[in-house]
Amino acid sequence: MPDTITINGTDHTLPSDPRVSLLDFLRHDLGLSGTKKGCDHGQCGACTVIVNGMRINSCLTLAALHDGDDVTTIEGLGTPENPSALQAAFVEHDGYQCGYCTPGQICSATAMLDEIKAGFASDASESLDGEMEASADEIRERMSGNLCRCGAYANIVAAIRDVASQGETA
Amino acid sequence: MRPFDLQRPDSLEHARNLSTGETATLIAGGTNLLDLMKLQVEVPERVVAIDRLGMNEIQATEDGGLRIGALVTNTATANDARIRSDYPVLARAILAGATQQLRNRATTGGNLCQRTRCYYFTNIDQPCNKREPGSGCGAIEGIARLHGVLGTSSSCIATYPGDMAVAMSALDATVEIVSADGSERSVPVRDFHLLPGDTPWRDNVLETGEIITAVTLPALVEGKQLYRKVRERSSYAFALVSVAAIIAMEGDTIARADLAFGGLAHKPWYDPRLSDLLVGKAPDAALFDSAADLLLENAQGYGENDFKIPLARRTLAAVLAEATETEL
Ligand SMILES: Cc1cc2nc3c(=O)[nH]c(=O)nc-3n(C[C@H](O)[C@H](O)[C@H](O)COP(=O)(O)OP(=O)(O)OC[C@H]3O[C@@H](n4cnc5c(N)ncnc54)[C@H](O)[C@@H]3O)c2cc1C
Ligand code: SF4
Ligand code: FES
Ligand code: FES
């Protein structure tokens, strides 16, 4: 599949200018403005998207190097009528104030719950092996790549814990 | 970002041919290079993407160690079952760095070669001998909180910011390098990064056109492995001081003590004298104090970072106490 990228199930042609970040490609070229630009330097997580199942900062990667990749953005996780479990939980728990960091938080949390299921360890894990728990400490550490300027952290953690305890991620 | 040509070879041989020339820069995960290209700290005319070259496996070596390909992500290394069980200091160091999003992209080679976080280096309006040789060092009389206290020079006091390489230094790992003409060489991680001296623009021993292909870990070592990182906030921050330690006891005395330090110098700091001092002795607070005396013998603060000297002392003592189960 030369020069195409799949975004939320739809194929798109990659930009010809190699400078275009995946973030600018999503927002500017495709009008998928759900993914946000906070810092553009990997320092805030607002631009988090899921590429081939892994969450990454879309600001620090070149779109041109993603041919053949499968990208999920906040628009691909659910809709207002049919939200994902995490989207619904963020509404339920007031997991935001201004909402700017929220798409990044939800994309990040979606992948994070899968990582816990897959047994990925974190800096907060007592042991590197065995089953990982979605405890509050684990969630705080695993979500540390998503800053919230409004400080809605307590409710963000509550929303994620709620979904983790339901045992579903999407 | 300045315009550049993007090339994406699909063999190492092709990449070697492309990576020659001062104007070409390799890109792996891109999390450091693109950050610096946006700031125009790095302005390559050609960027050679090496993401199609394989080098993304962790393999057992003949002598019982592991060979981690240059393109293995930090996430894959930290979650590899063999790394977790036999080299936990490496898994812990990686997990203490950056964030999951960044570790998912960051690679072995890119992490080793990541550049300093000195604020003057990343701001092209400021003087910096590393970025612009001869322009002066803004940090020496300026804001130097993140800066070095060991092995600094009058031209640069920057620190190597990474965590992974600190653990690799304690483990005495080896960097495998291929040059443009196809010849190969191996360099111990302990010798890979350079001190700034009067050539601060050189971070490490790589010559133009050289590509890191892997890092090899020696066979499993006996002992307790610890990584302790002290930072401004409990996650998503670079080390002020970090210690990687592999400590083994035999009865009541220390039988092995391999220690490396982050946040103190332009390279992961490894001082072989520490092992000589500690091995064969019974652990106690006085011994830990004399280890810190030796480590910090020639330490020099630059005002804002003076605190790193007592912090390194306390962090070393805490790690040694934990590893040897000694009450302080
Ligand atoms: C906000 C933020 C916080 C961070 N916090 C931490 C932290 O706490 N601890 C930590 O350790 N790191 C931290 N990092 C740094 C991160 O770990 C590095 O950016 C990453 O490891 C670089 O890997 P990469 O593959 O993306 O490198 P790239 O950006 O692709 O490359 C970096 C450099 O390495 C060179 N290079 C890459 N591969 C090779 C190769 N095979 N051979 C020769 N040269 C090569 C490139 O030419 C380039 O100069 C942080 C980064 C950010 C943005
Ligand atoms: S410490 Fe080194 S990197 Fe920082 S301004 Fe001085 S010369 Fe530049
Ligand atoms: S916009 Fe990408 S991390 Fe801030
Ligand atoms: S809700 Fe405003 S930044 Fe998080």
Q: Is B5 on the interface with A (CB under 8 A)?
A: yes
Q: Report CA(A37)–ligand 3 centroid distance (Å).
A: 6
Q: Are residues A108 and A157 in the same domain?
A: yes
Q: Which two three-digit tokens encode residue B285?
A: 């607070």
Q: Report CA(B118)–ligand 4 centroid distance (Å).
A: 29
Q: Are residues A94 and A132 in the same domain?
A: yes
CB < 8 Å from B in window 85-144 of A: 108, 111-112, 115, 119-123, 125, 128-129, 140-142, 144
The count of domains in chain A is 2
Shortest alpha-carbon distance between residue A149 and chain B (Å):
15
Q: Is B11 on the interface with A (CB under 8 A)?
A: no
Q: Are residues A64 and A93 in the same domain?
A: no
pLDDT digits (tens, 9 = 90+) for A17-73: 999 999 999 999 999 999 999 999 999 999 999 999 999 999 999 999 999 999 999
Write the secondary structure of chain A as one string of H (helix), E (strand) and C (coil).
CCCEEEECCEEEECCCCCCCEHHHHHHHHCCCCCCCCCCCCCCCCCCEEEECCEEEEHHHCEHHHHCCCEEECHHHHCCCCCCCHHHHHHHHCCCCCCCCCHHHHHHHHHHHHHHHHCCCCCCCCCCCCCCCCCCHHHHHHHCCCCCCCCCCHHHHHHHHHHHHHHCCCC
Last residue of a domain, one of A77, A110, A127: A77
- Mean pLDDT taken over chain A: 95
Q: Which domain holds residue A47?
A: 4-77
In this prediction, residue A88 carries a pLDDT of 98
pLDDT of A168 above 80: no
Chains A, B: CB contacts within 8 A come to: 94
Q: Report CA(A30)–ligand 4 centroid distance (Å).
A: 24
pLDDT digits (tens, 9 = 90+) for B244-274: 999 999 999 999 999 999 999 999 999 999 9
Confidence of residue B23 (pLDDT cuts 50, 70, 90): confident
Last residue of a domain, one of A44, A61, A77: A77
Q: Which residues on A lie below 8 Å from B119 (Cβ)?
A: none
In this prediction, residue A170 carries a pLDDT of 45
pLDDT of A169 above 50: no
Q: What is the CATH number of the domain that holds A19?
A: 3.10.20.30
CA-nearest residue for atom 11, ligand 1, is B162
Beta carbons of A74 and A34 less than 8 angstroms apart: yes
pLDDT digits (tens, 9 = 90+) for B136-160: 999 999 999 999 999 999 999 999 9
Section A138-156 average pLDDT: 98
**Domain B5-49 class, CATH top level:** alpha beta
The Cα-based distances of A96 to A37, A102, A144, B48 in angstroms read 17, 7, 16, 40
pLDDT of A1 above 50: no
Domain boundaries, chain B: 5-49, 224-324
Atom index in ligand 4 nearest the CA of residue A98 equals 2
Atom index in ligand 1 nearest the CA of residue B32 equals 29
pLDDT digits (tens, 9 = 90+) for B152-211: 999 999 999 999 999 999 999 999 999 989 999 999 999 999 999 999 999 999 999 999
In this prediction, residue B220 carries a pLDDT of 86
Q: Are residues A101 and A153 in the same domain?
A: yes
* Residue in A with minimal Cα distance to B93: A123
Nearest-5° angle of CA B88, CA B93, CA B98?
140
Last residue of a domain, one of A77, A99, A123: A77
* Count, residues in chain B: 328
In this prediction, residue B18 carries a pLDDT of 85
Q: What is the CATH number of the domain that holds A122?
A: 1.10.150.120
Q: What percent of chain B has pLDDT over 70?
A: 100
pLDDT of A5 above 70: yes
Higher pLDDT, B19 or B179: B179
Shortest alpha-carbon distance between residue A36 and chain B (Å):
15
- Mean pLDDT taken over chain B: 96
pLDDT digits (tens, 9 = 90+) for A62-107: 999 999 999 999 999 999 999 999 999 999 999 999 999 999 999 9
CATH code of B224-324, in short, is 3.30.390.50
Q: Which residues on A lie below 8 Å from B88 (Cβ)?
A: 128
pLDDT of B51 above 70: yes
pLDDT digits (tens, 9 = 90+) for A116-138: 999 999 999 999 998 999 999 99
Q: Are residues A42 and A112 in the same domain?
A: no
Whether residues A56 and B1 touch (CB distance < 8 A) is answered with: no
Whether residues A108 and B101 touch (CB distance < 8 A) is answered with: yes
Q: Which ligand is nearest to the CA of A46?
A: 3
Q: Are residues A149 and A92 in the same domain?
A: yes
Beta carbons of A52 and B51 less than 8 angstroms apart: no
In this prediction, residue A2 carries a pLDDT of 58
Confidence of residue B71 (pLDDT cuts 50, 70, 90): very high
